[in-house]
Structure 1
Amino acid sequence: MKWAIPQLSKYRQNGMPIDEIVQLDGLMRRNTDIRRSTPVHVKGFCTFGASQLNCHFHLTGTLILPCSRTWEDVEFTYDIESDEVFSWSDTLDPDEYDNVHLVEGEVIDVDPVLEELILLEIPIQVFKEGAEKPAPKNNADWSYLTEDELLSQKEKDAKKTDPRLAALAKYFDQTDE
């Protein structure tokens, strides 16, 4: 969604309602874990001032993410509400305020802000229902071990002598005469 600042002046008296469906393709470029994204339903209301636009956004949609245990697709639904300020004032310091986005030029580009709001909602791990057991043990590209299997493997590896050092091990077995 892009809005030209001169065209927004007609909403100065009553504000601007928002009810749009937006496809945010930048989501998958910014986070490679996202496999698919449904179009985002953006509802809200914006008020227009002399040098800023105040918007209240309500975003709903679904992302397809990989299950942390099985790598199968998991639907993650989000429902986000946020207040954002777009300012084109030269005197405003954006570091002093949260949710203030400086506008360069005559066009307000809302898509990067909406993408950021959605990306912040993605959890670190997502689990598919019924995925208590991990994926099959052996795969062509990876495998995993339980803690017990790892400990037993470490014990076996510790007992083995590196063939390159076998002659050195015999040296310490000899007694001094």
Structure 2
Amino acid sequence: MKWSIHQLQKYRQGSMPLDEAVNLESVKERNPEIRDITPVHVTGSCTIGSKKLTCRFRLEGTMILPCSRTWEDVEFPFTVESDEQFSWDEAVLATDDTIHPVVGEVIDPTPIFEELILLEVPLQVFSDKADDMKTAEGKGWSYTTDEQYNEQLQKEKESKVDPRLAGLAKFFDSDKD
């Protein structure tokens, strides 16, 4: 998906509609946790002015990410909405650093799409089978749920008696008046 500035001039009186599927496989190179990504459906519109292009994008697709517990593939659907501006005029670029500069005569929004998708990658994602995995262990490590860990801590606290207070614990057990 690329547009030349000359091509966009025919939409000067109105807005240019967007409805296209974009292949963004290159996002996997930037984040190796993304195992696969479906073609991203891009919708929206762009309006062109004399010195800049303003676009409203909506990106929809599905990423395949590893489960944080089982390391199995998990489908993660995403929807991103963003307003982006592009300019080819140095004066406009000098006044606002949120505007994307246009190099040459062609506008390529693909790097912006990649950035928007990378921002949607969650820190953790869990598969449906992750809840079935209550305990697991290996050599030098083990996995338990938070509830099991808290129960284990509570049992350890109850079973430990401070040796300095052991005599005091016996005092309350006596039936003497």
Unaligned runs of 5+ in 1: 149-177
Q: Helix, strand or coil for the counterpart of 1:117? A: helix
State the match for 1:3 in structure 2.
Answer: 3
Inter-partner Cα distance in structure 1 for 2:23 and 2:54: 22
Match of 1:29 in 2: 29
Q: CA deviation at 1:87?
A: 0.9
Query: 2:141 pairs with 133, 140, 144, which one?
Result: 144
Deviation at 1:134, TM superposition (A): 6.6
Identity of aligned residues (%): 52
Q: Which residue of 2 aligns with 1:127?
A: 126
CA pair 94-59 structure 1, distance change in 2 beyond 3 A: farther
How far apart, CA to CA, are the structure 2 residues paired with 1:51 and 1:93? 10
Do the aligned residues in 2 keep the contact of 1:38 with 1:61 (CA within 8 Å)?
A: yes
Residue 51 of structure 1: CA displacement?
1.2
Q: 1:95 to 1:131 in 2, by over 3 A?
A: farther
Q: 1:160 corresponds to which residue? A: none
- Taking the aligned partners of 1:135 and 1:105, their CA distance within structure 2 comes to 57
The residue number in structure 2 matching 1:14 is 14
Aligned-pair Cα RMSD in Å: 2.1
Deviations along 1:38-76, whole A, 9 cap, x unmatched? 000000000001111100001100000000111000010
How far does residue 92 in structure 1 lie from its aligned partner after superposition? 2.7
Q: Is the 8 A contact 2:5 2:105 kept in 1?
A: yes
> How many aligned residue pairs are there?
144
The whole-number CA distance in structure 2 between the counterparts of 1:62 and 1:94 is: 37
1:117 corresponds to:
116
Give the letter for the 1:78 counterpart: F
Does the CA contact (< 8 Å) of 2:136 and 2:143 recur in 1? no
- Using the size of structure 2 for normalisation, the TM-score is 0.74
SS at match of 1:76: strand
Gaps of 5+ in 2: 150-177
